[in-house]
């Protein structure tokens, strides 16, 4: 039941009957009072003072007389310039719980995205480098959005735009041929490649000629040299094999791994169109699109040596994705440092005459540092994600061994809890906020954390196992207490929170709401005996527990976190 819409309709009808004036859009002005004693919803009559030419307290008093209670609204009170609405609490409980029971595991899902496609570009790891925590936000924000958009009926296309082109590969090949061996790389995998990459930069500090060797190998890659391409593709294969383990552990999926090199033969179209539309101009030997009119530096399309750049490839990729998927929206989950880059080439797409430029969106997020220092692969200051996940699982297992030594499947549950803790930590704040990654903070299992929410879900499951099947008709009047009503409100709000998270591309809204639902349930759990002797009261409280279990599981699932039934 959409209570705000119902209340807004009652107010609008009363205004018409009292003042013969029609006022629309009242629903958006409804507020939730900070104190439950002031009602479930409040309407500030200040919004009407201009159109009705009356003081807000007078408007509130006159409308209050005409607003009659009904099956949903128990009473209406006038306090100053506010109308305070009190719901019929037992009716509210029945409607919320029935809605959750009938929807099941699809509670809050929708079809508003039916027939629409959203492309989500996320993770975008670099070839020949291990998956480190700097890729965590790009991966988990994108994965959560993929799940949330899909939950609302959108056709989602997850794209891992691999960083598989650029001068880093020439250095890697040169280092491998100079100091590496096939056996060592096969055994060491990406770790061995990183060692070679770090060594190259250290050696190049005293021997600058190494840079020339590297550039020569990149030229061979561009020219299609068989030896260069063979090594390059081998490095790519090793990287994807290494990353696949991490993606599987995190429960992350993609529909496309088309990276930068995929667009090598697709950039001619970009150059030709820009020239044909007189957008390309020469500047110091390079070719750019002038963006002075839009208060941005020029967008560099071709370097003076004819080489393409990131913008060229991104434009080519956008054209390909529109042609291939006909997206309604294309999201780019990339750190906020790239904001200017995206604004520039989005504007170029617009200047090329493509109306769908408005459907391109940069989903920016903050940077991740490690124990107070910026990540730097060249210097070796980096925290590998696989190592983090392994340590998180070990920490979770230690806690389980201490608190629940008899628990079955301890290793599997430790995996769910440890990995869930890392994901929850990453998605807990607004994505634009920087994260300074410290072990003790990330693996803190107390407070507003993933393990806390998971434990609450397991607690609900435990209550339900003890309760067994309920045959009595629930007494919803037994759910009129503040704790039950707060929990019902939190569960009722989940669908709108999911939609707001999608509207703003902010998964943290669901993360925080999971904490709120868990906190509300635990307050209810501690204040009330759920398995009481009264069959009707017991049935109502068990139904509320089941609804909490289901909603918490849905929230966790949308974040990419599993919900253990025992902990």
Whether the Cβ atoms of residue 204 and residue 211 lie closer than 8 Å to each other: yes
- Rounded to whole angstroms, the maximal C-alpha distance in the chain is 88
Burial 222-245 (b: 16+ CB within 10 A, else e): eeeeeebeebbeebbebbbebbee
Nearest Cα to 518, choosing from 492, 540, 551, 543? 551
Q: What are phi and psi of 416, to 5 degrees?
A: -65, -40
Contact assessment for residue 506 and residue 149, using Cβ atoms and an 8 Å cutoff: no
CA angle 437, 560, 543 (to 5 degrees): 120
Annotated catalytic residues are 129, 132, 135
Helix or strand (DSSP H, E) at 518: helix 508-527
Yes or no: say if 369 and 434 are a contact pair by the CB < 8 Å rule.
yes
Burial class (CB in 10 A: 0-12, 13-18, 19+), 259: buried
Q: 141 and 507 in contact (C-beta within 8 Å)?
A: yes
DSSP letter at 473 equals P
Taking a C-beta distance cutoff of 8 angstroms, is the pair 132, 383 a contact?
A: yes
Beta bridge partners of 287: 282, 302
Look at residues 196, 192, 230 and name the one whose alpha carbon lies nearest to residue 214. Answer: 196
The terminus-to-terminus CA distance of the chain in angstroms comes to 35
Beta strands (DSSP E) in 109-262 are 117-121, 155-159
> Could you please report the per-residue DSSP string of 262-286?
GGTTSHHHHHHHHHHTT-EEEETTE
What radius of gyration do the chain's Cα atoms show? Answer: 29
What are phi and psi for residue 169, nearest 5 degrees? Answer: -75, -30
Q: Measured between alpha carbons, how far is 92 from 122 in angstroms, rounded to an integer?
A: 40
What's the token pair of residue 381?
A: 């200051």
Of how many residues is the chain composed? 567
Q: Of 499, 492, 553, whose CA–CA distance to 148 is shortest?
A: 499
């Amino acid at each position: 039941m959409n209570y705000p819409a119902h209340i807004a309709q009652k107010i609008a009808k009363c205004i018409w009957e009292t003042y013969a004036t029609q006022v629309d859009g009242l629903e958006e002005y409804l507020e939730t009072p900070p104190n439950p004693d002031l009602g479930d919803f409040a309407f500030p009559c200040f919004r009407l003072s201009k159109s009705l030419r009356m003081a807000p307290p007078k408007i509130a008093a006159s409308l209050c007389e005409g607003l009659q209670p009904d099956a949903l609204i128990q009473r209406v009170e006038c306090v100053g310039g506010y109308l305070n609405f009190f719901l019929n609490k037992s009716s509210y409980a029945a409607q919320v719980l029935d809605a959750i029971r009938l929807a099941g595991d699809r509670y809050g899902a929708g079809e508003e995205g039916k027939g629409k496609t959203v492309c989500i570009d996320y993770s975008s790891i670099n070839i020949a480098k291990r998956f480190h925590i700097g890729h965590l936000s790009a991966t988990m924000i994108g994965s959560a959005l993929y799940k949330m958009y899909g939950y609302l009926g959108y056709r989602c296309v997850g794209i891992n735009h691999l960083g598989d082109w650029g001068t880093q590969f020439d250095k890697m090949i040169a280092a491998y041929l100079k100091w590496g061996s096939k056996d060592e790389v096969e055994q060491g995998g990406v770790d061995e490649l990183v060692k070679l990459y770090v060594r190259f930069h250290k050696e190049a500090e005293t021997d600058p000629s190494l840079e020339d060797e590297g550039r020569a190998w990149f030229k061979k890659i561009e020219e299609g040299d068989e030896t260069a391409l063979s090594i390059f593709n081998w490095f790519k294969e090793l990287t994807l094999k290494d990353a696949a383990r991490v993606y599987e552990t995190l429960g992350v999926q993609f529909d496309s791994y088309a990276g930068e090199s995929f667009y090598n033969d697709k950039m001619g179209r970009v150059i030709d169109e820009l020239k044909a539309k007189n957008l390309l101009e020469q500047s110091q030997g390079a070719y750019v699109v002038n963006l002075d009119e839009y208060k941005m530096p020029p967008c560099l399309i071709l370097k003076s040596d004819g080489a393409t750049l990131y913008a060229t490839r991104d434009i080519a990729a956008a054209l390909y994705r529109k042609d291939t998927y006909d997206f309604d929206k294309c999201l780019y989950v990339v750190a906020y440092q790239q904001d200017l880059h995206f604004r520039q080439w989005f504007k170029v797409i617009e200047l090329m005459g493509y109306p769908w430029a408005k459907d391109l969106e940069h989903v920016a997020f903050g940077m991740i540092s490690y124990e107070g220092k910026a990540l730097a692969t060249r210097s070796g200051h980096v925290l590998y994600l696989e190592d983090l996940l392994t340590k998180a699982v070990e920490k979770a297992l230690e806690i389980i061994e201490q608190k629940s030594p008899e628990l079955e499947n301890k290793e599997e549950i430790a995996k769910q809890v440890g990995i869930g803790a890392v994901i929850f930590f990453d998605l807990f704040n607004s994505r634009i906020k920087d994260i300074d990654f410290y072990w003790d903070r990330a693996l803190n299992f107390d407070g507003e954390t993933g393990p806390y929410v998971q434990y609450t879900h397991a607690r609900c499951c435990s209550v339900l196992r003890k309760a067994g099947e309920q045959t009595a008709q629930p007494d919803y009047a037994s759910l009129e207490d503040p704790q039950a009503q707060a929990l019902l409100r939190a569960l009722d709000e989940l669908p709108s929170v999911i939609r707001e998270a999608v509207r703003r591309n902010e998964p943290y809204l669901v993360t925080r709401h999971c904490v709120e639902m868990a906190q509300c349930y635990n307050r209810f759990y501690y204040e009330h005996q759920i398995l009481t002797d009264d069959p009707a009261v017991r049935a109502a409280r068990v139904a509320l527990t089941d609804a909490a279990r289901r909603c918490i599981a849905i929230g966790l699932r949308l974040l990419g976190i599993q919900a253990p039934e025992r902990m």
